[in-house]
């Protein structure tokens, strides 16, 4: 699914050179749930941008589904983002005076999908993210933070992406609501076999994944299975 080989990223200004990533290599298999964890300034955001086809490495290669993403032009990267990657951000990024259903349908408009198909796929994605159907026609600004994040997860799923990339998805949520959102990711992984990469700076959030890649100062410190995994209690949130 994902293969990063000797990825480095250097940012240059007129007189300063900053190395954000240093010779980073790892593999994520199809259907894995992996957390990439590190403090602010560790390089995890830079790595997320490369995995999400939002940026390319200075050196090294990044393969997604066997395709070398690291050498693609901007329009090709945009195509990869639209077809293969679902993004979930800390700030939800929903349109406020727009219904839940239309928010989820939005990526399919850009993909040229018919309105009937858009609605069908959006309903399937909302069901997959455990979002109650009685709220589908509510405006997104009428929802709680946790519900908005589940709409954002549904929107990430609507294109049936190869990879779901979640950047600090619980960062704007209280602990209890964050647990519900993390349970949603675990359900998608366990019941649908989704490949999920979760970016976080918090240990307890990372422990919901199967595996943690720990990054600091642009290098991988540790890459290991989670021994005491925080497993979801799906029935608690029905």
> Count of CB atoms within 10 A of residue 49's CB?
17
Give me the long-range contacts of 112-117 (CB less than 8 A, separation at least 24). Answer: none
Contacts of 81 (CB under 8 A, 6+ apart): 52, 53, 54, 87
Please tell me the predicted confidence (pLDDT) of residue 180.
86
Residue pointed to by tokens 């195509």:
79
**pLDDT tens for residues 195-230?**
999 999 999 999 999 999 999 999 999 999 998 788
**Statement: residue 72 has pLDDT above 70:** yes
Which domains, from first to last, does the chain contain? 2-7+31-225 (3.40.50.300)
Task: Quote the tokens at residue 42.
Answer: 């560790």
Q: Is 220 exposed, middle or buried (0-12, 13-18, 19+ CB in 10 A)?
A: buried
pLDDT in tens, 23-65: 999 999 999 999 999 998 899 999 999 999 999 999 999 999 9
Q: What percent of the chain has pLDDT over 70?
A: 97
pLDDT of residue 233: 62
50: nearest Cα among 8, 88, 93: 8
pLDDT of residue 36: 96
Question: What local confidence, expressed as pLDDT, does residue 43 receive?
Answer: 92
Percent of the chain with pLDDT over 90: 53
Average pLDDT over residues 226-236: 69
**Residue 92: which pLDDT band, with cuts at 50, 70 and 90?**
confident
Q: What is the pLDDT of residue 230?
A: 82
pLDDT at 136: 94
Examine the pLDDT at 189 and tell me if it is beyond 50.
yes
Average pLDDT over residues 147-170: 90
Q: CA gyration radius for the chain?
A: 18
Q: How does residue 235 score in pLDDT terms, banded at 50, 70 and 90?
A: very low
pTM above threshold 0.85: yes
Q: Which of 60-64, 107-111, 120-124, 214-218 has the lowest mean pLDDT?
A: 107-111
The mean pLDDT of the chain is 89
């Amino acid at each position: 699914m994902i293969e990063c080989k000797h990825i480095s990223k250097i940012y240059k200004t007129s007189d300063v050179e900053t190395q954000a990533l240093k010779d980073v290599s790892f593999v994520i298999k199809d259907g894995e749930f992996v957390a990439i964890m590190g403090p602010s300034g560790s390089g995890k955001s830079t790595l997320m941008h490369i995995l999400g086809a939002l940026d390319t490495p200075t050196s090294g290669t990044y393969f997604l589904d066997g395709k070398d993403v690291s050498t693609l032009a901007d329009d090709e990267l945009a195509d990869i983002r639209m077809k293969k990657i679902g993004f979930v951000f800390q700030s939800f990024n929903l349109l406020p005076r727009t219904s839940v259903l239309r928010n989820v349908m939005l990526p399919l408009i850009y993909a040229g999908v018919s309105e009937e198909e858009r609605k069908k796929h959006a309903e399937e994605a909302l069901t997959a993210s455990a979002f109650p159907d009685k709220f589908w026609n509510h405006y997104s600004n009428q929802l709680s933070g946790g519900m908005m994040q589940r709409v954002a997860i549904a929107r990430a799923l609507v294109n049936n992406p190869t990879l779901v990339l979640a950047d600090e998805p619980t960062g704007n949520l209280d602990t209890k609501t964050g647990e519900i959102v993390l349970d949603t990711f675990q359900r998608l992984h366990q019941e649908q076999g989704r490949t999920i990469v979760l970016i976080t700076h918090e240990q307890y959030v990372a422990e919901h994944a199967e595996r943690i890649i720990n990054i600091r100062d642009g290098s991988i410190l540790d890459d290991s299975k989670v021994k005491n995994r925080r497993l979801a209690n799906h029935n608690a949130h029905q």
